[in-house]
Structure 1
Amino acid sequence: MIQGCFITLEGGEGTGKSTQAKAIADALEKNGTKVVLTREPGGTPGAETIRELLLTGAEEKWNIRTEALLFAAARAEHCAKLIRPALARGEWVVCDRFIDSSRAYQSVNGEISDAEIMDLHRIGSGNLMPHRTFVLDLPETDALRRAAARDRGESDRIGGRDRDYHRAVMANFRKFAADEPDRIRLIDASQSVEAVTASLVQNLDGLKP
């Protein structure tokens, strides 16, 4: 039984997801809420091992279907061993990326569909969905600049894909937000860090542990 709340942060490279995930967790904890802060791929020892497999090495290391299966496997482990137990205890879970990243990234080239990715999620993770998802939206030039400063020339094998790929990923995220406005909120990430955090916290309206 799910008793807690599940919040996810999504968006392209360099939009500030990790920073804002921690900021939301800190804000909730200051109000006395028990919070589990985690990330994908990863969050458990097994899922972190799969993360290393996914993000290191050459672009041609995996084909897109293998990549999708690996992400689904990492998520299945993450949900079973960390996310669902925390929610069952009535805690809030704040996660840096989740299923919407798989949908946005793996479906870009058309080799695997959004429906197929959701089928993998249903099989592996019981179709667990966040109560609220924030997509951090940043102009492309700003996102590229921030990602370059973060990576210092050492992007991982997915972050290092070309601009057209990442442009299509962000277009997918915006489409998801338009299609599911009750769950997904599009947030202007070009504001100051503090202003973005305030907007995120304000958009937790209506959620209860």
Structure 2
Amino acid sequence: MNGHFISFEGPDGAGKTTILQAMVDHYRKRLKDQLTITREPGGNPISEAIRSIILDKENTEMDSRTEALLYAAARRQHLVETILPALQQNHVVFCDRYVDSSIAYQGAGRMIGEKAVYDMNLFATEGELPEKTIYLDVPSELGLKRIMTNRTDDVDRLDLEKLDFHQRVRDSYLKLAKEYPERIVVIDASQDLETVKGDTIKILDQVIK
């Protein structure tokens, strides 16, 4: 496969979706129909159906391991139905979240074990990882403040977690970035939007020749 698989990660409020859309706008002119944009959980009908269950604010009784298993199931279907076919057609795939999210949110945030969640996803993905991961980092307090200021009409079940949950998530992401420096690039998302966009384009231009 000659395509490029690039994931975008970040704690809540980092501006990940905004930056991803900016990258789509920037690279669409060059790549045209060779650019595939997708998200997790989601990306196809089965995975989107699982997404609606996971993020439903009414599902407060969901067990942490159930949640992690649902993410892994959605990811498996997403990989085989959406990501791999696109890579086989030499597409550049921009994915809003992937395995790192599960390790950070369920493994660390839910405290069910980062290795346990990684192993579960290793089974689900057969070891398929992005070529490059853009991790947009922001202090948890700032991220939550942004959510409550800018996303009041789109707050999901994970956004409602307390500060210590979001701090564990961020700490896990930063640990992953140290473990996999060749894959995960940390960008300071507390900077102004144009600077974050510019930093992201510099990294992606090294991958998308």
CA contact (8 A) 2:137 2:189 kept: yes
State the shift of 1:208 in Å.
4.6
Task: Measure, in 2, the Cα distance between the counterparts of 1:204 and 1:152.
Answer: 31
Task: Measure, in 1, the Cα distance between the counterparts of 2:206 and 2:10.
Answer: 23
Quickly say closer, same or farther: Cα 1:206–1:106, change in 2 above 3 A.
Answer: same
Task: Measure, in 2, the Cα distance between the counterparts of 1:9 and 1:154.
Answer: 19
Task: Measure, in 1, the Cα distance between the counterparts of 2:138 and 2:188.
Answer: 6
State the shift of 1:107 in Å.
1.1
Structure 1 residues 90-99 or 197-206, which shifts more? Answer: 197-206
Task: Measure, in 1, the Cα distance between the counterparts of 2:59 and 2:160.
Answer: 9
Tell me what 1:113 maps to.
113
Task: Measure, in 2, the Cα distance between the counterparts of 1:103 and 1:13.
Answer: 15
Q: Identify, as 1 or 2, the structure richer in helix.
A: 2
CA contact (8 A) 1:40 1:96 kept: yes
* Structure 1: runs of 5+ lacking an equivalent: none
Kindly provide the amino acid, as one letter, of the partner of residue 132 in structure 2.
R
Task: Measure, in 1, the Cα distance between the counterparts of 2:161 and 2:111.
Answer: 16
Tell me what 1:170 maps to.
170
Tell me what 2:185 maps to.
185
Tell me what 2:46 maps to.
46
Tell me what 1:17 maps to.
16
CA contact (8 A) 1:108 1:169 kept: yes
Give the share of equivalent positions with the same residue, in percent. Answer: 37
* Structure 2: runs of 5+ lacking an equivalent: none
Tell me what 2:93 maps to.
93
Aligned-residue RMSD, C-alpha: 1.8
Task: Measure, in 2, the Cα distance between the counterparts of 1:149 and 1:118.
Answer: 33
Structure 1 residues 178-187 or 147-156, which shifts more? Answer: 147-156
Task: Measure, in 1, the Cα distance between the counterparts of 2:134 and 2:143.
Answer: 16
The TM-score, its normalising length taken from structure 2, stands at 0.92
